[in-house]
Amino acid sequence: MNILTWNTQWCCGMDGKVSVARIVQHALQMGEQGDAGGLDVLCLQEIAVNYPGLQGRPGDQLSELQALLPGWQVFLGSPIDEFTAQGHQRFGNVIATRLPVLQVQHYPLPMPADANMRCMQRMCSVVTVRDTALGPVRIMTTHLEYFSKRQRMEQAMALRDLQIQACALADAPPQPASDGTPYQTKPHTRHAVLCGDFNFEPHETEYAALSAPWSASEQGSLQPGQWLNSWSVLHGDAPQPPTFRLLDRTWGAEPGACDLIWVSESLSEYVQAWRVDSSTQSSDHQPVMLTLA
């Protein structure tokens, strides 16, 4: 399974041109170069619908993605969903996949008050897909707050709690049902991939908080576990290649690695390859791809 994550900056490249097609074409090409042969899951952050105030005046990027990915299912998680003088506006993250989809969930992330701090609501979207070898796998994508460290820390802890809850449900599932009602059995699984732009780097406290292992008793989880950075699964303590401020230093003088792909402990043995494209200028972030096999 090839999974690619990319903060697209509403598909606005370093040349100032907004092009959804350019993003999709590049992502699919990266997938073709992967070890598993073709892209299976595409996670995009900063997708805009009707925000002419942004550079390049993006239109309905969700509709564009759906047209560019025939045969795929495309899901937008929009923590910003508002009606203004511009009309209906949405801004958020997309999960697109050509794999069979079992379930879709959207979780608003914490947004504690942080006076006079520039910030916006954040969300984690989860699409459970069925892989022929692995069975159900929860694909999770998010984009954490950039300006408020307080909010970012609470959001990291919430992502940790989401996985603890999912593992507890997989270990001790609810009463089964096949009655066709909303109570019917769900695909509970420990297998999960969490990717996106976390706006923190491996040396920061939020990284440590998200990756901290949990005990068997924490919040009812029957088995211990933790989130593992897929890069580190393959490369140990070697620094992850930068994914931000690599070609554009607007937001800082030094390149950093904030675009991450985490895997559940249950998937660590299946991590086969990790790749970043450090040369593309189709966004101010670099795309990262993980291969599970």
Express each pLDDT in 49-98 by its tens digit: 999 999 999 999 999 999 999 999 999 999 999 999 999 999 999 999 99
* CB atoms inside a 10 Å sphere around CB 200: 25
Query: CA-CA distance, 128 to 146, in Å (whole number)?
Result: 27
| Within-domain flag for 179 | no
**Structure confidence at residue 274 (pLDDT):** 98
* CB atoms near residue 113 (< 10 Å): 9
- pLDDT for the residue numbered 142: 98
pLDDT of residue 34: 67
pLDDT confidence bin for 222, thresholds 50/70/90: confident
pLDDT for 209 equals 98
Does residue 265 fall inside a structural domain?
Answer: yes
The predicted pLDDT at position 173 comes to 95
Angstrom CA distances, 97 to 40, 49, 269, stand at 6, 20, 23
The total number of structural domains in the chain stands at: 1
Write the CB contacts of 263 (distance below 8 Å, at least 6 apart in sequence). Answer: 192, 193, 194, 227, 228, 230, 233, 270, 271, 290, 292
Q: Look up the domain containing 129 and give its range.
A: 2-174+186-292
| pLDDT of amino acid 48 | 98
Q: Is residue 78 included in any domain, yes or no?
A: yes
Round to the nearest angstrom and report the end-to-end CA distance of the chain: 6
Distance, CA of 182 to chain centre:
27
Q: Could you tell me if residue 18 is inside a domain?
A: yes
The pTM (predicted TM-score) of the whole model is: 0.96
Distance CA(202)–CA(216), nearest Å, equals 25
CATH of the domain at 100: 3.60.10.10
- Residue-wise burial string across 165-178, b where 16 or more C-beta atoms lie within 10 A, e elsewhere: ebbbbbeeeeeeee
181 lies in some domain: no
Give residue 236's pLDDT: 97
Opening angle at CA 8, ends 156 and 113, nearest 5: 35
Is residue 194 assigned to a domain? yes
Share of the chain above pLDDT 70, in %: 98
Residue 180, in any domain of the structure = no
Digit-coded pLDDT (tens) for 102-161: 999 999 999 999 999 999 999 999 999 999 999 999 999 999 999 999 999 999 999 999
Residue 19 lies in a domain: yes
